[in-house]
Amino acid sequence: MQRYTLPAIVLHWLTAALIVCAFVLGLVMVDIPGITPTKLKYFSWHKWLGVTVLGLACLRLLWRLTHAAPPLPASMAAWQVSLAKLLHVLLYVLVFAVPVSGYFYSLASGVPVVYLGLIPLPVLVEANEVWKPILKQVHFALNMTLLACVALHVGAAMKHLVIDRDGVFRRMLP
């Protein structure tokens, strides 16, 4: 069984870890009542994680476009191969869409994003009370969709590891 390249493996696991951190932090920060210094700090960290994930997603996509994924085992059913490819495409789309939707939600809320507190990102839209709740819902819905897709992805990986034992899981291990 061929493996992914080391840069692909590193980008995969780093992106996955940061997505989990951003997701958990997002859940924690929205449950803090009122506006507190801690809540504001968590919002900043959440945005920084999102911008970092977006940057890593760009690197991942560039790497993936120039380096083919190892082939799936011939023993996999055609429908499984099709679903795996569809899920991977959907994961890539969501890894871009979630941080972009959060960025536009922040801008519509009138809060610019300053990466790591040092680099102001461009203000592409002005504060907008009409778009703010819409973008909030879009960001939430995309996050829940990403969560469902990640759960499917992990479930499929576990199936390959425990049931099929076909080496698919090991292709992405460091």
Report how far residue 152's alpha carbon sits from residue 163's, in angstroms, rounded to the nearest whole number: 15
Question: Alpha-carbon distance 173 to 3, whole Å?
Answer: 8
In tens, the pLDDT along 73-95 reads 999 999 999 999 999 999 999 99
Phi-psi map region of 116: left, alpha, beta (phi>0 left; psi -120 to 50 alpha) = left
For 152, the token pair is 């499917």
Q: Collapsing DSSP states into helix, strand and coil, what is residue 77?
A: coil
What element of type H or E holds 20? Answer: helix 6-30
* pLDDT above 80: residue 53: yes
Q: Is the dihedral of CA 129, 134, 138, 140 positive or negative?
A: positive
- What global pTM score does this model have? 0.94
Mean pLDDT over 142-162 rounds to: 98
pLDDT at residue 117, rounded to an integer: 95
* Domain positions in the chain: 6-172
Q: Could you report the per-residue pLDDT of 9-22, keeping only the tens digit for each?
A: 999 999 999 999 99
Residue 1 scores a pLDDT above 80: no
